A = this chain, B = another copy of it.
Amino acid sequence: MHFNELIKTIKERREALQVTQERLAELSNVGLRTLKQFESGKGNPTLLTLQKISDVLGMEICLKIKNITTNK
């Protein structure tokens, strides 16, 4: 997943759960400013920050082998 996809995933998930940025910031203990920056694609969050956010949204970060034989 590229940067933008990650952002999109987080944002969509947040909206699906009907949580505002403000609320998510509180729940995850991430500054509102930081969260906003991230969601608007202007940040380069720390792994810890991303994890805190993902966590609250019921998601987790993982690493997977890229599919080399990218058939399209």
Q: Which residues of A line the B interface, CB within 8 A?
A: 1, 3, 6, 9-10, 44-48, 50-51, 54, 58-66, 68
Contact = CB atoms under 8 A, between A and B. Distances in A.
B48 A59 contact: no
- Copy tally for this chain in the complex stands at 2
A3 B63 CA distance: 11
Given A6-B63, A46-B46, A62-B62, 19 more contacts: A6-B47, A6-B61, A6-B62, A9-B63, A45-B46, A45-B47, A46-B47, A47-B47, A54-B63, A58-B65, A58-B68, A59-B64, A59-B65, A59-B66, A60-B63, A60-B66, A61-B61, A61-B62, A62-B63
A54 to B, nearest CB: 6
